[in-house]
Structure 1
Amino acid sequence: MRPPLLLLALLASVAVSAQPEGEGYYHTRGTRLVSPDGQPDVLRGIGLGGWLMPEGYMVRVPGHGSPTTIRQQAVEVAGEEGADRYFEAFRANYVREEDIQKIAEWGYDHVRLPFHYKVLWDEEAGAFDEDGFALVDAFLEWCREAGLPVIFDMHAAPGGQSEHNIADAHGTAELWVGPNAAVNQALTIRIWEEIARRYRDDRLVIGYDIINEPVLPEGVTRAELRDFYVRSRDAIRAIDPHHVLFIEGDFFANFFDGLTPAFDDNMVWAFHKYWSPTDPADMTRFVELRDSTGVPLWLGETGENSNDWFHEVATWAVENGIGWNWWTHKKIETVTSPLSAPMQPGYRDLVAYWRGEAPKPDRETAEAALLAQAAALHIDSTAFRPDVLWSLFDPAWATLAVPFKPHTLPGTLDAVDYDLGADGVGYHDTRSKNEQGTPGLANEGGVYRNDGVDIAANERGGPAYRVGWTEAGEWLQYTVRVPAGGTFAASATVTGGAGQLALEVDGESWGEAAVPASGGTWAEVDLGTHTLSAGPHVLRVRIREGGFDVGRLTFDSTD
């Protein structure tokens, strides 16, 4: 006998209500984020900054560096149509399905998708941008194929959630102040409602990062920020009961007083960390926030520092049950991201023009330069930075040195190709991380590698890069292989000021030499001879007295 429809409906409702809360979706349970299979999960992900929300430093554009001014600069040299073609190619190459596949292969388990609200909202038409949503839909399918869950992040809200370029604002945070603040807040919530409507049943989506790094203007209280979050929650929850809400604190996601207590049973406090100490004491306030409110934590954005800093922050987070998301997967000429896109010569000329250091190119030349740079963003054109990944994912980073490149004696090795490993393991530098509170790298030259070792591009002939800014007490380690034992003569090419250099092998002295002042030319210093058995050996170059640069080490057989 076929059951009545009413009975079927009642049975279905009982079955749904009997399911564990959040089943099939990421959700919170106490102070932990829980995966769809019900297990506590400590996320380790990466952000896709720059793609749908360009920032000046990522694409090496001088000036304010907001999406609006970046476009204005492109229009000024290439015209509206030329700029349109550039940004179309820019988006097509910055993040592709191949990028997503590679991110999964590297070991990341989710991605954060920063987007400008204008990607999804057409201001001229006063309607949602279906092309923008189609792009997001395609992106979600790439992530689904790669098994990478997604967190949506509104990186630039209508009017700007801060006064800064990273909110695409121009001196005023009009999400909070000015005659259009209420309209801007309403539009922000309306966009989240549409996102919730379209993706409420998508289990690939972890949740919604409501606004990135709010910075409240003077006179706007955190109680008002909390009220905005509560209204956003109410609107989203009227449509989507499933997905996690990620709530960022005031002043670049750092301060949460005034936002507590929790206002949803499926929310996470999302904090950010840059250029601050890695001492756990500096981060205990976030753990206290979690424990006092019963709400999980997520380190939703961090990075732009050295590998040592990366390792220490990521380790602290995981040890405290806190997931993280690193910033960001690709930039132009970077050492802090897994992928570095090369700067093209014509684009470099454009940057020089924008800096006021070169003449303005004609429109055809400018557009060709922009399109060449957009093409260079393709993953196949980028350089891979494996040291960034090792510092984040492998505990051995702190204790084990491994060769950055294979070195065989006799032979010549570039000084910048010292071993992978933490400060005190693969190298030692007087400053291995930036904890000064302002942007900057520990590597003073900012090229080639992301450690404390200071590296400069070489314009003096010889190797492409050189170790510079040397100081007494610093050292570089090289694991080498000797196929056949024998006696070897060692020398180093140096340039710059006078100093003192020593070489060790397997903890024993090889030789030491005074470094002459050579100005802008290269000099060779003799470090003596030593007999080595066949097999692996560990060399260390020690700076006894700094002030010079090191280019190469050469080992010749004397047998």
Structure 2
Amino acid sequence: MSVNINVPPSPAPSETGVLRLKGSAIVDANGHEVLLKGAGLGGWLNMENFITGYPGHETEMRRALSKVLGQEKYDFFFDRFLEYFFDDKDAEFFASLGLNCLRIPFNYRHFESDLNPGVFLERGFLWLDRVINICARRGIFTILDLHAAPGGQNVDWHSDTGIHKALFWEHKEFQDRSIALWRKLAARYKGNTWVAGYNPLNEPTDKEHTRVLAWYERVNQAILEVDPEHIQFYDGNTFAADFSRFGQPLPNSVYAIHDYSNFGFPAGEPYKGTPEQKMRLESSFKRKIAYHLKHGGHIWNGEFGPVYAGPTDAPDWESINVDRYNVLKDQLSLYDQHKVSWSIWLYKDIGFQGMVYCAPDTPYMKRLDAFLQKKKRLAADAWGADTSTVKDVFDPLEAWFVKEVPHIKQRYPSTWRPNNHIGRIMRNILLSEELIPEYAAYFDGLTNQQLDEMAASFKFENCMQREGLNLVLREHAAK
């Protein structure tokens, strides 16, 4: 039995009115420029494996937990998880840093079922209402982000298909269903001054580079027909990095880059802020914003940010993190220069990248500790994994692939090396799928009270704050 969703009353409309575009700026009703600065609420209405610790993709994990727990306990646990993951204390802390915008990723499965497409589920909208209103009460705008679309709009785990194909681009039905969902969302939030806008599709990967443009035109027009006011935020192709085939900007649209730097990840070189490294950081950023500079559009960086080391990763983990804070500082300095709106990835997790994270002594973290260490050792997750632990297995396999099928070096996305493609299919899909029953077994036999304690591990009061990261964000939020 699902619990009632506690949606706080809508606060008074913002004095800004509905935010709009004026040239290269986002402005309020009085024409004052507004820069949106905040974070993404990844791991909530769209769960991701590295954020909350499960292996593989969300739907397969949920199916396994449903079998172990039974439907009633399953509903109880996930309702509690969604309630506890972001509440008023989170919004209060978020606002205390000077941040003014939360990007809300969501999975279409909260709004309709694949077995009953087109019949919308009110509970999904109520969960959105809840966080929108919680944020609004603290003066925080929200951007709604379709992170997992029917069929999967990209080849990654966070589009929740469990495969390495983006079938969204192969089937018009998937595209039409997503447009219908956006019509419904636009009708619901039309006139809502606390919603800064709509992000119709996260990180598309259309290897033909044309279907994404055609769909953007369709969804743009569909939203404008229902809600002509709210800004629409469109990601570049190939994980929001490629605008080479984009033409004139669509009406009422801002184009989003995602500006992750290799300096912030285990496989990247240590960042010491040398002139050469700063030049490379700036060059990568300017390459991504060339489209915006050409057309004079506002720049929104929808995702960026390093991952962080912990005590079990390396003896010098603290100095590693200082280097990564410095990467972030230099990125934000570039954004300050170009008047970029930004949304760091991410707000909350289990200790890898979030601004706040579950404390190690919480029931969830203690119960899953051995499993999380195993998952890390196997490099089961794609995001930020330290693959040095599996080099002896995968380096010979990569060499064999390159020798026997050299065409793998031309496989889309072309920026990936062969080991990225091999690791994605073999570790992040196949191996991770086989880990799902092991993860689910940790929930077997838990009482409702124990399940509540597991979910409550994600409450703000049970989390720790990544002080170095938050200090950097506070400094740049004020600029």
* TM-score, length basis structure 1: 0.61
Of 239, 262, 282, 1:280 maps to 282
| Aligned equivalents of 2:73, 2:169: Cα separation in 1 | 35
Contact 1:78 1:367 in 2 (8 A): no
Structure 2 CA distance for partners of 1:244 and 1:341, relative to 1, 3 Å: farther
Higher RCO (C-alpha 8 Å, min separation 6): 2
Match of 1:192 in 2: 182
Match of 2:352 in 1: 334
| Aligned equivalents of 1:370, 1:251: Cα separation in 2 | 38
Contact 1:347 1:369 in 2 (8 A): no
Residue identity in the other structure for 1:344: M
How far the C-alpha of 1:282 sits from its partner, in A, is: 1.6
Structure 2 CA distance for partners of 1:316 and 1:340, relative to 1, 3 Å: farther
| Aligned equivalents of 1:248, 1:155: Cα separation in 2 | 11
Structure 2 CA distance for partners of 1:336 and 1:94, relative to 1, 3 Å: closer
Match of 2:8 in 1: none
How far the C-alpha of 1:359 sits from its partner, in A, is: 11
Match of 1:503 in 2: none
How far the C-alpha of 1:349 sits from its partner, in A, is: 5.5
Match of 1:147 in 2: 139
Match of 1:3 in 2: none
| Aligned equivalents of 1:83, 1:42: Cα separation in 2 | 40
Structure (1 or 2) with the larger CA radius of gyration: 1
Match of 1:59 in 2: 52
Structure 2 CA distance for partners of 1:38 and 1:276, relative to 1, 3 Å: farther
Of 166, 170, 178, 2:158 maps to 166
Contact 1:247 1:268 in 2 (8 A): yes
The answer as to 2:465 corresponding to 1:384 is yes
Gaps of 5+ in 1: 1-22, 397-559
| Aligned equivalents of 1:141, 1:238: Cα separation in 2 | 25
* 2:59 match: secondary structure: helix
| Aligned equivalents of 1:247, 1:79: Cα separation in 2 | 39
Contact 2:349 2:357 in 1 (8 A): yes
Of 319, 325, 330, 1:307 maps to 325
| Aligned equivalents of 1:160, 1:385: Cα separation in 2 | 32
| Aligned equivalents of 2:120, 2:150: Cα separation in 1 | 14
Match of 1:46 in 2: 39
Match of 1:98 in 2: 89
The answer as to 2:19 corresponding to 1:26 is yes
Structure 2 CA distance for partners of 1:234 and 1:395, relative to 1, 3 Å: closer
The answer as to 2:257 corresponding to 1:271 is yes
% same residue = 26
| Aligned equivalents of 1:98, 1:377: Cα separation in 2 | 12
| Aligned equivalents of 2:439, 2:370: Cα separation in 1 | 7
| Aligned equivalents of 1:174, 1:128: Cα separation in 2 | 22
Q: What is the CA deviation profile of residues 478-507 of structure 1, one whole-angstrom value per residue up to 9, with x for unaligned ones?
A: xxxxxxxxxxxxxxxxxxxxxxxxxxxxxx
Range 245-254 or range 270-279, more displaced = 270-279
Structure 2 CA distance for partners of 1:236 and 1:187, relative to 1, 3 Å: same
- Name the Cα RMSD after superposition: 2.6
How far the C-alpha of 1:47 sits from its partner, in A, is: 1.0
* 1:146 match: secondary structure: coil
* 2:53 match: secondary structure: coil
> Which one has a larger percent strand, Structure 1 or Structure 2?
1
| Aligned equivalents of 1:335, 1:255: Cα separation in 2 | 25
* TM-score, length basis structure 2: 0.71
Of 221, 233, 238, 1:246 maps to 233
Residue identity in the other structure for 1:315: S
Structure 2 CA distance for partners of 1:196 and 1:323, relative to 1, 3 Å: same
How far the C-alpha of 1:183 sits from its partner, in A, is: 0.6
Structure 2 CA distance for partners of 1:358 and 1:311, relative to 1, 3 Å: closer
| Aligned equivalents of 1:205, 1:71: Cα separation in 2 | 30
Residue identity in the other structure for 2:204: P
How far the C-alpha of 1:157 sits from its partner, in A, is: 0.7
How far the C-alpha of 1:77 sits from its partner, in A, is: 3.4
Q: What is the CA deviation profile of residues 395-428 of structure 1, one whole-angstrom value per residue up to 9, with x for unaligned ones?
A: 79xxxxxxxxxxxxxxxxxxxxxxxxxxxxxxxx
The answer as to 2:240 corresponding to 1:226 is no
How far the C-alpha of 1:268 sits from its partner, in A, is: 0.6
* 1:175 match: secondary structure: helix
Residue identity in the other structure for 1:193: R
How far the C-alpha of 1:366 sits from its partner, in A, is: 8.3
Residue identity in the other structure for 2:243: F
Of 70, 74, 81, 1:83 maps to 74
> Which one has a larger percent helix, Structure 1 or Structure 2?
2
| Aligned equivalents of 2:440, 2:71: Cα separation in 1 | 20
Gaps of 5+ in 2: 1-15, 264-277, 308-323, 376-434
Contact 2:358 2:457 in 1 (8 A): no
Structure 2 CA distance for partners of 1:36 and 1:118, relative to 1, 3 Å: farther
How far the C-alpha of 1:344 sits from its partner, in A, is: 3.2
Q: What is the CA deviation profile of residues 274-314 of structure 1, one whole-angstrom value per residue up to 9, with x for unaligned ones?
A: 23355212211233211212221100111133211211111
Query: Aligned pairs, how many?
Result: 366
Structure 2 CA distance for partners of 1:202 and 1:361, relative to 1, 3 Å: closer
How far the C-alpha of 1:370 sits from its partner, in A, is: 4.7
